[in-house]
A and B are shown apart, each in its own frame.
Chain A
Amino acid sequence: MKRTEPLEIYQPTSVNEACRIIKQSGPGGHFLAGGTDLIIAIKEKGWVPRYVVDLKRIPSLSEILTNSDGSLVLGALTTMREIEISPLIRDRYPFLAQSAAEVGSIQIRHRATIGGNMANATPSADVAPALIALDAKAKISGENSERIVALEKFFVGPGKTLMKPDEILTALIIPPHPATLRGEYIKFSPREMMDLAYVGVAVALAMDERKKVKHVRIALGAVAPIPMRARKAEAIVLDQILSEEIAEQAGGEAAKECSPISDVRSSADYRREMVRVNTKRALLNAASEHWRPTSWVERRDRRY
């Protein structure tokens, strides 16, 4: 660990105060939430922020609550572990809980926050596709200002979001969904635990009584500079009864839509193929008669 200058740490107790600190102190600062990315960047990668603004003293940023309209608000400091075990989320959006359970180790999940994870905009973030499949929105606060944008639009590149330096991601909002909404998240990574996703596929869909898909979202992680929706694949599924063939076609389309890279873990071509297979499987699993939320342990023993 290398740090020649003492590090200045601010601990504001309100969002406004935090924004003011950033304005006054100027560029080169960094927010601190769970610290699972920041501390590693400082200790292992030699990156030194000029100052740090610790958000953990700000009350009410770590709540999971339901609004009267049925939307769900996840405070930015909600930990991955809280999302993983929240009865509310497990009941309504189990695949979101599962995507959080896929992150790192249990120790990491107790520290890492959903806001920090989204604000760091890693293309392979596990919860991003699940949230995008749920049409989640990002609530961005500045000094005396607030705006809400679709999470899909929130990411602009690897490590980049549309937030201004003096803005803070304060919550993620999942709009109301019909009770019939089902979903699935498949993290494809050859190592079972504590790996980065090679491919992440999240699917959320709702069907009518005749099994026709009336609503569908397919979101992909780790196969483009930002987490993305596979809109052409969605179009194939919409208003169809989800057969093996339709799912296969949609998978093929999703594979065409994404733009993976080759790296030390896998080739771009293989990632594309795995988007194809896993999109198909996620769709079929979500639509399956036997669909029910599964625990992580069951998932490990299940073959997709």
Chain B
Amino acid sequence: MEMTEIGKSVRRLDYETKVTGRAQYLADMSVPGMCHGKILRSPYPHARLKHIDASKALKVPGVMAVLTRDDILHDEGIEPFYGPVFKDQTIVAVEKVRHVGDPVAAVVALTIDAAEEAIRLIDVEYEELPAVLDVHQALKPGAILVHESIKLPSSGFADLAELKPVEGTNVCTHFRLNRGDIDKGFAEADHIFEDTFTLPATQHSFLETHACIASVEPGGRITVWATTQNPFVVRTQLANIFKVPVSKVRVIVPYLGGGYGGKVYPKVEPITVALAQKAGRPVRVVLSREEVFYTITKHAAVIRMKTGVKNDGTLIARECEIHLDTGAYAEIGPRVAKKSGYTAAGPYRIPNLKIDSYSVYTNKPPAGAFRGFGVSQSAWAVESQMDIIAAALKMDPLELRKQNGYDEGDKFVTEETLRAVGLKECLDEVAKSIGWETKVQGLKGSRVEGSGETNVKRGKGLACMIKATITPSISCAVVKLNEDASLSIYTGTVEMGQGSETVLAQIAGKELGLPLQTIQVLGVDTDVVPYDLTTSSSRSTFHMGKAVQLAAQDVLRQLKQIVMKEYGVPEDKVTFADGKIRLPETQLDYAEVMFKRFGMQGGTLVGEGQVKTSVKDEYGEKSTSAFWFVAAGAAEVEVDSETGQIKLCKYATAVDVGKALNPLGCRQQLSGAAITGIGQAMFEEIAYDNGQLINPNLVDYVLPSLGDMPSVIDPVCIEIPHRNGPFGAKGIGESALIPVAPAIANAIFDAVGVRIKDLPIKAEKIFLALEEAKARPLI
């Protein structure tokens, strides 16, 4: 068996079970006695619930129970209000429904058919209310309120403590960032640019829809099998809702069929537990694709950005107002607003800032976390405007970025020092990959005519970004060295396709000198594994990887103690190499030492590792983010000037990964994120008509197909090691997605000279912009 290496590509450990279709996903699972749950959803964006009558539904053969507001309001054992930041959600609607698809009631039945029939027989009388359907409407003085009042939790996320809803308005959160003197900054500027950018609500489009199986024992013990990225947050929330200690809640997470932020915080779990409790039977709820559209979306945003620039291209001032459409419930909207705000200056030194980022309630399905949240909104504006500035100043967009971009040791907008930021390396790599030098020759003439056909124009564009990871946070890990020197790893990190299982095994294997084949990473079960805050924010390799590394070191320390005691060797004479313990005269393997310690073939050594990050790091430095992600992307496109159709010829993406522990896995993550970004850039948009979703299915909600992929996606890992990461590694999951949309928009501008400021960049928009440009006299 080969020793485990880091920095060398390994095939992911779960590949065989997944490609052969043997991996268990929640919707395929059942438990004895299990019934089926279905949810009745609001047909209106905003309405008062006048009357609910479930009597007919209860008569359907096979129906075990119907859950309505009466059950959650009059049960002492249920706290009706919940939510990760504000307690503005209820299991089923209480007084009002606030968006189309808002759960109104739910049914448990022996069969899915019976549950569906019963759902149709629940009589609900609504009184329709006027609705606020976009941020503009919602922010008008005197606008209809989505929430008349909002309950705050007694304790919540430390990083969001200062963010509160604004009473009497639809403002869920207002994040402010002020730096320097904004008026002075603009006064010193030679040029001022002001643009408004928008992006629509979109879907995560994971293959696996949300699902849950819940079982409640008579004593109140709750077991849920959940499709969640953060089992421990779900555990806490369920404990709060059902008023039991967390030890009475067990959350088990099978392989997750994709998450991308759409499976953080409670989704379908509270309603499934309530159903199981009422029916006295285990219940499974599996959402349809349409229901996912009602459950969680990505924040739509309107971003007004005003930037002051000196003649030489130095950015000197920025005023930015970001309006994020949070939908009917806060979910994690406040943090989205905060992250958008922090990154509204982009990865650039801008001394004078006035940033106002709002998350805003509307009568739309809730928006939450989406791969790189906050930043994929702000970066669309930041990076599009960079090219607007470059064009106006006749500067090379690459040079403009490098001139203003962060260097090692620079101060971020939060006044903290940036470390391990390979921003310029990322930019240079992607520029090289798409042949940027051939573009810049005589800025004006950078448009290359495509293969002899005059209607096709080629262009190149790039973009970059900086983002944070959730801080403070906690990851704990336990590893068990078994009597045969095999290793079991216990963590709360959810394997959702990102390859965490593999990389955690690599880290432990490398640290202990064990082959990968002897290591087992266990599935997530909150009864068994120690606490982890969340599998999101690209944090697992850095945080959980480090915790696993520490746990492995803990085992080594224990082995050392045993050797010193049992063999009488002084501490400085005991060393470890390749899974062996070296002593001056001889070497021992772990199994021998275990035998010596326990006197027989048996026993366990348990190693523990804890990582906790705070807003001051271990060196006492301010650290709003435990580490900073930087990335760049570059696109080469062809635009058909007669139809507006875009062909993406090549996409290059570079991310500072700190250290690529599994280079193959890193490249796959980078490519995957880029592909998601291509969908966001060119195709995806949830369309509404008066608050009704008109494309809640994957026929009319258009995702890119394989045929839309560029023939080359070039993922590049830049390695600037981070002092706190395991072997220097940082997270990578989200960063590569963020530059995609602006890079493509910038390439389109290079190709045909039109600037699209509203995502997605559909052919029709380019066509209209080209028509408009034709009608306009050339300057």
A contact residues vs B (CB 8 Å cutoff): 1-4, 44, 188, 190-196, 264-267, 270, 273-274, 277-278, 300, 303-304
Contacts and interface: CB of A to CB of B under 8 A. Distances in A.
B705 A192 contact: yes
Contacts of A188: 643
Contacts of A265: 700, 702
Interface-central residue, B642, B704, B708, by most chain A CB under 10 Å: B642
Interface stretch (B13-21, B745-753, B762-770): B762-770
A270 B453 CA distance: 22
A266 B705 CA distance: 18
B645 interface: yes
Contacts of B113: 1-4
Contacts of A195: 702, 705
A1 B456 CA distance: 47
Contacts of A264: 687, 694-695, 700
Contacts of B117: 2, 4
A3 B764 CA distance: 41
A273 B766 CA distance: 13
A303 B640 contact: yes
A194 B705 contact: yes
Contacts of A1: 112-113
Contact of A190 (B642, B687, B695, B763): B763
A115 B618 CA distance: 71
Nearest to B112: A1
Given A190-B762, A264-B695, A303-B638, A277 B643 contact: yes
Interface-central residue, A190, A264, A265, A267, by most chain B CB under 10 Å: A190
B490 to A, nearest CB: 40
Contacts of A270: 764, 767-768
Contact of B708 (A191, A196, A267, A304): A191
B767 A192 contact: no
Given A192-B706, A270-B768, A303-B640, 18 more contacts: A2-B113, A2-B116, A4-B113, A4-B117, A44-B697, A190-B683, A191-B702, A191-B707, A192-B705, A194-B705, A264-B695, A266-B764, A270-B764, A270-B767, A278-B643, A303-B451, A303-B455, A303-B456
B450 A303 contact: yes
21 contacts: A1-B112, A1-B113, A2-B116, A2-B117, A4-B113, A188-B643, A191-B704, A191-B705, A191-B707, A191-B708, A192-B706, A192-B707, A192-B708, A193-B708, A194-B705, A264-B694, A264-B695, A270-B767, A278-B643, A303-B640, A303-B647
A4 B450 CA distance: 59
Nearest to B642: A277
B683 A191 contact: yes
A290 B763 CA distance: 28
A278 B455 CA distance: 13
Contacts of B699: 196
Contacts of A3: 113
Interface-central residue, B453, B638, B702, by most chain A CB under 10 Å: B702
Nearest to A303: B456
B645 A193 contact: no
B707 A190 contact: no
A44 B700 CA distance: 14
A265 B760 CA distance: 12
Nearest to B709: A192
Nearest to A278: B643
Interface-central residue, B694, B708, B764, by most chain A CB under 10 Å: B764
B445 to A, nearest CB: 22
Nearest to A271: B764
B40 to A, nearest CB: 14
B347 to A, nearest CB: 31
A44 B697 CA distance: 10
A270 B640 CA distance: 14
Given A273-B767, A303-B453, A303-B455, A193 B705 contact: yes
Contacts of B455: 303
A193 B700 contact: no
A271 B432 CA distance: 39
Pairs A-B, 5 closest by C-beta atoms: A192-B707, A193-B707, A193-B705, A270-B764, A264-B687
A3 B763 CA distance: 42
Contacts of B764: 266-267, 270
Interface string B644-674: 0101000000000000000000000000000
Contacts of B450: 303
B706 to A, nearest CB: 7
Contacts of B697: 44
Contacts of B695: 264
A300 B450 CA distance: 15
A273 B771 CA distance: 11
A190 B702 contact: yes
Contacts of A194: 705
B700 A190 contact: no
Nearest to A267: B764
